[in-house]
Chains A and B, each alone.
Chain A
Amino acid sequence: MAIRIGVDDVRALMARATGDEKHDESSTSTLDAIWVLYDRVLRIDPSAPRDEARDRFILSKGHGPSAYYAVLAAMGFFAEELLDGFLEHGNPLGSHPDRNQVPGVEASTGSLGHGLALGVGTALALRAKALHEQRVVVLCGDAELNEGSNWEAIMLASHLRLSNLTLLVIDNHSSELSMDPWLERFASFGWSAVAVDGHDHAALEGALAARSDDGPNAVVADIPEGEW
Chain B
Amino acid sequence: VVTDMRTQLGRTASDLVESDPRVAVVLAEISVDRFARVMRSAPDRVINVGIMEQTLVGVGAGFAMEGFHTIVHTMAPFLVERPFEQVKLDFGYQGLGGTLVSVGAPYDYGTEGGTHHAPGDVALMLTVPGSEVLVPGCAAELDTVLRGTYANGRLTYLRTSVAQNDEAFDVAPGRAHVIRRGARATVVAVGPMLTRTLAATEGLDVTVLYTASVAPFDAEGFAAVAGDDPSVIAVEPFYEGTLTPALTDALRHVPSRFASIGVPRRFITTYGTLEEHDHELGLDAAGIRHRVASILEDGSSGASSRRAST
Contacts and interface: CB of A to CB of B under 8 A. Distances in A.
B55 A149 contact: yes
B58 interface: yes
Contact of B54 (A107, A121, A122, A149): A149
Interface stretch (B63-71, B157-165, B172-180): B63-71
B45 A121 contact: no
A113 B57 CA distance: 12
Contact of B90 (A118, A124, A125): A118
Given A114-B58, A120-B59, A107 B65 contact: yes
A121 B65 contact: yes
Contacts of B50: 155-156, 159
A126 B94 contact: no
Given A128-B44, A128-B45, A122 B55 contact: no
A149 B58 contact: yes
Contacts, number: 97
A201 to B, nearest CB: 29
A111 B85 contact: yes
Contact of A121 (B44, B52, B63, B95): B63
Interface string B237-261: 0000000000000000000000000
A121 B59 contact: yes
B267 interface: no
B44, B64, B67 interface centre (most CB from chain A within 10 Å): B44
Nearest to A109: B89
A120 B65 contact: no
B52 A100 contact: no
Contacts of A107: 65, 94
A120 B62 contact: yes
B271 interface: no
Interface of A: 99-100, 106-108, 111, 113-114, 116-129, 148-149, 152-153, 155-156, 159-160
10 contacts: A99-B94, A108-B89, A111-B89, A117-B57, A122-B65, A124-B63, A125-B68, A129-B66, A152-B54, A155-B52
